[in-house]
């Protein structure tokens, strides 16, 4: 027996195609517009932005990439964000992380108007995620929910264990799952006997960023395993899960690459489209 | 063997007394000021507000109680809140819940300036609680943390189970505990085998609002039990815990009354003082 593989690659293609149709159908009005701000020339950021630009183009979102000098000051960046917040032709604003040291990430995240918060990182957006009162969610948690729902995996009453408690994955994801009536356990590096805490879950979501953390000791045969990890081992890209061994045991599993990764971009595009619909109202 | 009782009554008296000293020491400046808005004449609200007024007076917080007619419209209430937001002599604004049906609770909570959010119910405040980037917390979760810390009960790495996922207790409390490196499990009415999920916790926090829900099947001898329940059974005020039986087994327990309840008011007062300090800066 081997797990059913939940392909984020296929699901994201489906979602992107459906989004393209929705955008095409809105005729006579301008295209949705996202502005990506990059500060400096981080090679990983360059690569991510290239992906985002290509994905936007594919679905019909107009995407501006503003690349600023590594030495840009916080107040210079603030001024640009304030102008973008005011510009009603811009629907989404995204500041590519990481930022250089002279710029305070919190201040920048707080400054982006929640009505243009494509990444869903503003505290207001996150507060509304907690309150179950939002259309915009951070893209990775939203992508995970869509992966689970695509297989009709039951969330209400399910025991879900999340490894990792970041502001962009673990904590907002926990809020969403709590609101969907799951019983949610959030683990971190201080968790005692991690394998045991995970072992009986119906759904195990690993967002630890630690290759081969989730071994067969962590899983059971009814389990769905969602691998949010993004690691490089000997030049090879992999998740947190000891995939080849774990997939032989569990019921569903997402691969890396081709699992959560492409869903994150698809959900970012969906956020931009929702912000656009509200903006042109 | 019987559990050590963690008295919220005593701890809140200590905190109130310390707060009174802090307020007394700020000489030559006006007292902190809280405005409580009440709409209608709900008997429970009358009682809670009476408590809050008395507690404010005891510590030296100037407290205005504005009682509006049951038929007050949403826009009338909004206008009053907007005026209070602008009034720099007012440090905290609190709208007593529940509100009559013609008024949308969410709109009102969102309208209170986060800089005057004494209750900590605004989405920005809650987003910042999730992000671990705030001085203001909803009062009941903050009171629970203070009860645990007063006994030096370890939170990092502790297994904490919370029953209940409300916006004012369960969810923000989970965020705070996650940020303090606890392994947190949040249960709800759909949780399968609740007793078993609770049984192995180091700390069990019940905020279900269901008398005698937590029986001896839910607990173990190393456990700390925090009872957030507020129920009436045959005219008697009680929590969620089958107190007499459970206290014989566990290590620490909070009583009802005299546990979490008085801590909530003490933490509300602390919020007002923090808002005041930021306001007079």
Sign of CA dihedral B273, B278, B280, B281: positive
Taking alpha carbons only, the member of B159, B192, B210, B148 closest to residue A156 is B192
For residue A80, the model assigns a pLDDT of 98
Residue B122 DSSP symbol: S
Structure tokens that stand for A252 in this block? 């569903």
Task: Specify whether A74 is located in the same domain as A178.
Answer: no
- B2-31 pLDDT tens trace: 999 999 999 999 999 999 999 999 867 899
Which of the residues B91, B117, B119, B242 is marked catalytic? B119
Distance, in Å, from the CA atom of B145 to the CA atom of A201, rounded to the nearest integer, reads: 28
Task: Specify whether A228 is located in the same domain as A174.
Answer: yes
Task: Specify whether B109 is located in the same domain as B148.
Answer: no
Q: Quick check: A183 and B183 CB within 8 A?
A: no
Task: Specify whether B142 is located in the same domain as B106.
Answer: no
- A66-116 pLDDT tens trace: 999 999 999 999 999 999 999 999 999 999 999 999 999 999 999 999 999
Q: What is the 3-state secondary structure (H, E, C) of A65-121?
A: EEEECCCCCHHHHHHHHHHHHHCCCCCEEEECCCCCCCCCHHHHHHHCCHHHECCCC
Question: Residue B63 forms beta bridges with which residues?
Answer: B34
Is the separation of the CB atoms in B203 and B219 below 8 Å?
no
Distance, in Å, from the CA atom of A192 to the CA atom of B115, rounded to the nearest integer, reads: 38
> Measured between beta carbons, which residues in chain A are less than 8 angstroms from residue B181?
188-190
Question: Which residue among B56, B79, B113 closes a domain?
Answer: B113
CATH classification of the domain holding A157: 3.40.50.720
Distance, in Å, from the CA atom of B256 to the CA atom of B247, rounded to the nearest integer, reads: 12
Task: Specify whether B53 is located in the same domain as B89.
Answer: yes
Taking alpha carbons only, the member of A110, A108, A41 closest to residue A71 is A41
Task: Specify whether B188 is located in the same domain as B231.
Answer: yes
Residue A20 is assigned to a structural domain of this protein: no
Residue B89 is assigned to a structural domain of this protein: yes
Q: Quick check: A183 and B186 CB within 8 A?
A: yes
Which of the residues A91, A117, A119, A227 is marked catalytic? A119
For residue B29, the model assigns a pLDDT of 83
User: Is pLDDT above 90 for A145?
Assistant: yes
Active-site residue, A96 included? yes
Summary mean pLDDT of chain B: 97
- B141-172 pLDDT tens trace: 999 999 999 999 999 999 999 999 999 999 99
Query: A275 vs A92, A111, A113, A206, CA distance in Å?
Result: 7, 16, 11, 29
Is the separation of the CB atoms in B81 and B37 below 8 Å?
yes
For residue B92, the model assigns a pLDDT of 98
DSSP B46-90: HHHHHHHHHHHHHHT-EEEEEEE-TT--HHHHHHHHHHHHH-TT-
Q: Quick check: B185 and A185 CB within 8 A?
A: yes
Q: Quick check: A156 and B128 CB within 8 A?
A: no
For residue A29, the model assigns a pLDDT of 83
Nearest-5° Cα angle at A63, A62 to A64: 125
Task: Specify whether A169 is located in the same domain as A243.
Answer: yes
Mean pLDDT value across residues B265-278 = 98
Distance, in Å, from the CA atom of B226 to the CA atom of B148, rounded to the nearest integer, reads: 9
DSSP A109-155: HHHS-GGGBTT--SHHHHHHHHTT--S---HHHHHHHHHHHHTT---
DSSP A209-255: --TT-B-GGG--TT-EEEE---EEETTEEE-SB-HHHHTTTSSEE--
Residue A69 is assigned to a structural domain of this protein: yes
CATH classification of the domain holding B87: 3.40.50.10860
Residue B128 is assigned to a structural domain of this protein: no
Taking alpha carbons only, the member of B225, B280, B229, B227 closest to residue B250 is B225
> Measured between beta carbons, which residues in chain A are less than 8 angstroms from residue B175?
130, 171
CA dihedral B183, B187, B192, B197 (to 10 degrees): 40
Residue A14 is assigned to a structural domain of this protein: no
User: Is pLDDT above 80 for A27?
Assistant: no
B1 falls in which pLDDT band (50, 70, 90)?
Answer: confident
Percent of chain B with pLDDT over 70: 100
Active-site residue, B96 included? yes
Structure tokens that stand for A19 in this block? 């989004």
Percent of chain A with pLDDT over 70: 100
Taking alpha carbons only, the member of B39, B171, B55 closest to residue B118 is B55
- Over its C-alpha atoms, chain B yields an Rg (Å, rounded) of 19
- A133-144 pLDDT tens trace: 999 999 999 999
For residue A10, the model assigns a pLDDT of 98
- A29-53 pLDDT tens trace: 899 999 999 999 999 999 999 999 9
For residue B238, the model assigns a pLDDT of 97
SS3 B94: strand
Q: Quick check: B130 and A131 CB within 8 A?
A: no
Q: Which of A124, A131, A186 sits opposite B184 (nearest CB)?
A: A186
Strand pairing of B183-187 and B224-227?
unpaired
Task: Specify whether B149 is located in the same domain as B237.
Answer: yes
- Respond yes or no on whether the N-terminal peptide bond of residue B48 is cis (omega within 30° of 0): no
User: Is pLDDT above 90 for B250?
Assistant: yes
* Residues that constitute the known binding site of A for NADP(+): 164-166
Distance, in Å, from the CA atom of B259 to the CA atom of B9, rounded to the nearest integer, reads: 6
- A224-274 pLDDT tens trace: 999 999 999 999 999 999 999 999 999 999 999 999 999 999 999 999 999
Q: What is the phi-psi region of residue B120: left when phi exceeds 0, alpha when psi lies from -120 to 50, beta otherwise?
A: left
Task: Specify whether B104 is located in the same domain as B172.
Answer: no
Interface predicted TM-score of the whole assembly (ipTM), two decimals: 0.96
- A55-74 pLDDT tens trace: 999 999 999 999 999 999 99
Task: Specify whether A145 is located in the same domain as A249.
Answer: yes
Mean pLDDT value across residues B72-97 = 98
> Scanning the structure block, which residue is given the tokens 């709800």?
B188
Total domain count for chain A? 2
What domain range includes position B185? 138-261
Is the separation of the CB atoms in B216 and B243 below 8 Å?
no
Nearest-5° Cα angle at B249, B245 to B250: 115
Question: Which residue among B113, B130, B165 closes a domain?
Answer: B113
Residue B241 is assigned to a structural domain of this protein: yes
For residue A1, the model assigns a pLDDT of 74
Residue A16 is assigned to a structural domain of this protein: no
Sign of CA dihedral B243, B248, B250, B255: positive
Task: Specify whether B148 is located in the same domain as B204.
Answer: yes
């Amino acid at each position: 027996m081997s797990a059913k593989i939940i392909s984020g690659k296929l699901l994201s293609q489906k979602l992107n195609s459906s989004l393209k149709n929705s955008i095409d159908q809105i005729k006579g009005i301008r295209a949705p517009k996202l502005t990506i701000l990059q500060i400096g020339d981080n090679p990983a950021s360059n690569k991510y932005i290239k992906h985002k630009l290509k994905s936007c183009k594919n679905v019909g979102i107009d995407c501006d990439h503003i690349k600023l000098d590594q030495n840009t000051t916080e107040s210079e960046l603030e001024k640009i964000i304030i102008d973008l917040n005011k510009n009603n032709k811009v629907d989404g604003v995204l500041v590519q992380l990481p930022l250089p040291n002279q710029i305070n990430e919190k201040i920048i995240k707080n400054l982006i108007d929640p009505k243009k918060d494509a990444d869903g990182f503003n505290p207001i957006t996150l507060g509304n995620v907690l309150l179950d009162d939002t259309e915009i969610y951070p893209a990775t948690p939203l992508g995970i929910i869509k992966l689970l729902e695509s297989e009709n995996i039951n969330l209400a009453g399910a025991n879900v264990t999340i490894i990792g408690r970041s502001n962009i994955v673990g904590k907002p994801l926990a809020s969403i799952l709590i609101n969907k009536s799951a019983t949610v356990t959030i683990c971190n590096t201080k968790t005692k006997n991690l394998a045991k805490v995970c072992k009986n879950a119906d759904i195990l979501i690993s967002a630890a960023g630690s290759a081969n953390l989730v071994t067969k000791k962590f899983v059971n045969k009814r389990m769905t395993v969602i691998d949010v990890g993004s690691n490089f081992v000997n030049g090879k890209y992999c998740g947190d899960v000891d995939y080849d061994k774990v997939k032989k045991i569990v019921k569903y599993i997402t691969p890396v690459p081709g699992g959560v990764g492409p869903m994150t971009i698809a959900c970012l595009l969906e956020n931009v489209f929702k912000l656009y619909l509200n903006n042109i109202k």
